[in-house]
Structure 1
Amino acid sequence: MKNVEMSVSGNVLMIKVDLSKEFGASKSGKSITVASTEGNISVPENEDIKIGLNVYRRR
Protein backbone atom coordinates (compact mmCIF):
# COMPACT_ATOMS: atom_id res chain seq x y z
CA MET A 1 0.00 0.00 0.00
CA LYS A 2 1.06 3.55 -0.65
CA ASN A 3 -0.07 6.29 1.77
CA VAL A 4 -3.13 4.38 3.05
CA GLU A 5 -3.90 3.53 6.67
CA MET A 6 -7.00 1.51 7.54
CA SER A 7 -8.60 0.60 10.83
CA VAL A 8 -11.88 -0.91 11.94
CA SER A 9 -13.95 0.38 14.85
CA GLY A 10 -17.01 -1.78 15.43
CA ASN A 11 -18.62 -2.03 12.00
CA VAL A 12 -16.95 1.10 10.59
CA LEU A 13 -13.92 1.05 8.30
CA MET A 14 -11.78 4.16 8.63
CA ILE A 15 -9.35 5.09 5.85
CA LYS A 16 -6.61 7.69 6.32
CA VAL A 17 -4.79 9.24 3.34
CA ASP A 18 -2.33 12.14 3.46
CA LEU A 19 -3.46 14.31 0.53
CA SER A 20 -0.18 16.26 0.50
CA LYS A 21 1.83 13.26 -0.75
CA GLU A 22 2.23 12.04 -4.31
CA PHE A 23 3.86 9.02 -5.92
CA GLY A 24 4.38 10.06 -9.53
CA ALA A 25 2.38 9.62 -12.69
CA SER A 26 -0.19 6.88 -13.14
CA LYS A 27 0.40 4.16 -15.73
CA SER A 28 -1.59 6.14 -18.31
CA GLY A 29 0.29 9.34 -17.45
CA LYS A 30 -2.96 11.31 -17.15
CA SER A 31 -2.93 11.68 -13.38
CA ILE A 32 -0.68 11.79 -10.31
CA THR A 33 -1.09 9.01 -7.74
CA VAL A 34 -1.73 10.25 -4.19
CA ALA A 35 -2.54 6.89 -2.55
CA SER A 36 -3.27 3.32 -3.56
CA THR A 37 -3.89 -0.11 -2.10
CA GLU A 38 -2.21 -1.40 -5.29
CA GLY A 39 -5.01 -3.83 -6.01
CA ASN A 40 -7.67 -5.47 -3.87
CA ILE A 41 -6.71 -6.29 -0.30
CA SER A 42 -8.50 -7.59 2.79
CA VAL A 43 -9.94 -5.17 5.31
CA PRO A 44 -8.16 -5.34 8.69
CA GLU A 45 -9.81 -7.81 11.07
CA ASN A 46 -12.10 -9.19 8.33
CA GLU A 47 -10.59 -11.36 5.58
CA ASP A 48 -14.00 -11.75 3.87
CA ILE A 49 -14.25 -8.06 2.94
CA LYS A 50 -11.96 -6.63 0.26
CA ILE A 51 -11.12 -3.06 -0.74
CA GLY A 52 -9.42 -1.55 -3.78
CA LEU A 53 -8.58 2.14 -3.44
CA ASN A 54 -6.93 4.64 -5.79
CA VAL A 55 -6.65 8.33 -4.93
CA TYR A 56 -5.30 10.63 -7.62
CA ARG A 57 -5.32 14.14 -9.01
CA ARG A 58 -5.21 15.41 -12.57
CA ARG A 59 -1.86 16.40 -14.06
Structure 2
Amino acid sequence: MKNVEMQVTGDILTIKVDLSQRFGKSGSGKNEIVASTEGNQSIPGMDEVKVGLNVYTKG
Protein backbone atom coordinates (compact mmCIF):
# COMPACT_ATOMS: atom_id res chain seq x y z
CA MET A 1 0.00 0.00 0.00
CA LYS A 2 1.10 3.56 -0.67
CA ASN A 3 0.31 6.26 1.91
CA VAL A 4 -2.67 4.39 3.43
CA GLU A 5 -3.08 3.49 7.10
CA MET A 6 -6.10 1.52 8.33
CA GLN A 7 -7.25 1.04 11.91
CA VAL A 8 -10.27 -0.79 13.31
CA THR A 9 -11.73 0.30 16.65
CA GLY A 10 -14.79 -1.74 17.57
CA ASP A 11 -16.96 -1.64 14.44
CA ILE A 12 -15.38 1.53 13.00
CA LEU A 13 -12.75 1.47 10.23
CA THR A 14 -10.56 4.58 10.05
CA ILE A 15 -8.47 5.22 6.94
CA LYS A 16 -5.65 7.77 7.13
CA VAL A 17 -4.10 9.36 3.98
CA ASP A 18 -1.51 12.17 3.87
CA LEU A 19 -2.91 14.43 1.13
CA SER A 20 0.43 16.26 0.74
CA GLN A 21 2.18 13.21 -0.76
CA ARG A 22 2.45 12.33 -4.47
CA PHE A 23 3.63 9.10 -6.10
CA GLY A 24 3.82 10.08 -9.75
CA LYS A 25 1.45 9.61 -12.65
CA SER A 26 -1.14 6.86 -12.90
CA GLY A 27 -0.83 4.15 -15.51
CA SER A 28 -2.94 6.20 -17.95
CA GLY A 29 -0.86 9.31 -17.26
CA LYS A 30 -4.01 11.39 -16.71
CA ASN A 31 -3.85 11.59 -12.90
CA GLU A 32 -1.28 11.89 -10.13
CA ILE A 33 -1.44 9.26 -7.39
CA VAL A 34 -1.83 10.48 -3.79
CA ALA A 35 -2.55 7.10 -2.15
CA SER A 36 -3.53 3.57 -3.11
CA THR A 37 -4.17 0.19 -1.55
CA GLU A 38 -2.82 -1.20 -4.87
CA GLY A 39 -5.77 -3.55 -5.23
CA ASN A 40 -8.13 -5.00 -2.66
CA GLN A 41 -6.61 -5.46 0.79
CA SER A 42 -7.90 -7.13 3.95
CA ILE A 43 -8.98 -4.93 6.83
CA PRO A 44 -6.59 -5.38 9.81
CA GLY A 45 -7.75 -8.36 11.86
CA MET A 46 -10.66 -9.12 9.48
CA ASP A 47 -9.43 -11.18 6.53
CA GLU A 48 -12.99 -11.63 5.21
CA VAL A 49 -13.51 -7.84 4.80
CA LYS A 50 -11.68 -6.10 1.95
CA VAL A 51 -11.09 -2.48 0.91
CA GLY A 52 -9.89 -1.02 -2.40
CA LEU A 53 -8.89 2.65 -2.37
CA ASN A 54 -7.40 5.07 -4.88
CA VAL A 55 -6.86 8.76 -4.10
CA TYR A 56 -5.63 10.97 -6.95
CA THR A 57 -5.56 14.46 -8.40
CA LYS A 58 -6.27 15.50 -11.98
CA GLY A 59 -3.19 16.12 -14.08
Q: What TM-score bracket applies, with the shorter chain setting the length?
A: over 0.9
Q: CA deviation at 1:7?
A: 0.3
After TM superposition, the runs of 4+ consecutive aligned structure 1 residues lying more than 2 A away are none
5 Å-filtered alignment, 1:16-35, equals: 16-35=16-35
Segments of structure 2 that go 5 or more residues without pairing to the other structure are none
Query: Aligned residue for 2:15?
Result: 15
How big is the alpha-carbon RMSD for the aligned residues of Structure 1 and Structure 2?
A: 0.4
Query: Aligned residue for 1:38?
Result: 38
TM-score (norm 2): 0.98
TM-score (norm 1): 0.98
Q: Does 1:58 align with 2:58?
A: yes
Identity of aligned residues (%): 61
